[in-house]
Chain A
Amino acid sequence: GAVVSQHPSWVICKSGTSVKIECRSLDFQATTMFWYRQFPKQSLMLMATSNEGSKATYEQGVEKDKFLINHASLTLSTLTVTSAHPEDSSFYICSASLPGNQPQHFGDGTRLSIL
């Protein structure tokens, strides 16, 4: 149980394009979803925390207008990288958890390459 699906797994696009990444909890209702970014050979850095039905909480240094997060249902959160540039190229991973400080369950990640 507790499967999180992330789509797409890999995307390559031109600079200036907006890219949407989906994160779905397949067999449970996730009140909270998290978005992380990982640059090559570095660890995961939390970008934002989203609670269903409310605005996401962004970590310091993460531009909320650049990285739009929508968590409209208990099973789906989306991250949109707006007007992506090469420096946005990274590995983006989402996770989801049940309420009550339960462990997070991670998606397989999305590799984003901006040309």
Chain B
Amino acid sequence: KQEVTQIPAALSVPEGENLVLNCSFTDSAIYNLQWFRQDPGKGLTSLLLIQSSQREQTSGRLNASLDKSSGRSTLYIAASQPGDSATYLCAAGTGGNNDMRFGAGTRLTVKP
């Protein structure tokens, strides 16, 4: 069964810092890996989707990488802003229905 772990559980940084969020998964047979943002009490906002054949995806200040062999993905956020404060979830898509298994998330706080 796929297990997804995110480290750290919480992170607080001053505005302007570059930061890296980590995600690891136990089963490398994934179809894709996706990073989401979740604001308190809200649904999920998809940030980046990396297909299993890809190594990375970029969108604005965000860059996500995928290393299937080591079971790891990272989300890099450049020049962080207070508006980036949220919980970031990674999810690995596996199985016949592309079942998504989520990590517990990293709660990010960017201080002005």
Chain B residues touching A, majority SS: strand
Instruction: List the B residue with the shortest CB-CB distance to A10.
Output: B41
When chains A and B are docked, how far (Å) is the Cα of A22 from the Cα of B97?
21
Contacts A93-B43, A109-B43; is A46 near B99 (CB within 8 Å)?
yes
B22 at the interface (CB under 8 A from A): no
CB-nearest residue of chain A to B104: A43
| Count class of interface residues, chain B | 20 to 34
- Across the interface, A103 reaches (CB within 8 A) one of B32, B43, B89, B103, namely B32
B4 nearest CB across to chain A (Å)? 8
Judged by a CB distance under 8 angstroms, whether B11 is at the interface is no
Q: Tell me the residues in window 26-48 of chain A with beta carbons closer than 8 Å to chain B beta carbons.
A: 32, 34, 36, 42-46
Residues of A in contact, count (CB < 8 Å): 25
Asked if B34 is an interface residue, CB under 8 A from chain A, the answer is yes
For chain B residues 21-60, which have a beta carbon within 8 Å of chain A?
31-32, 34, 36, 41-44, 46, 49
Q: Which residues of A contact B31 (CB under 8 A)?
A: 101
Q: Check B41 against A111 for contact (C-beta < 8 Å).
A: yes
Residues 80-99 of chain A: 1 if any B CB is under 8 Å from the residue's CB, otherwise 0?
00000000000101010100
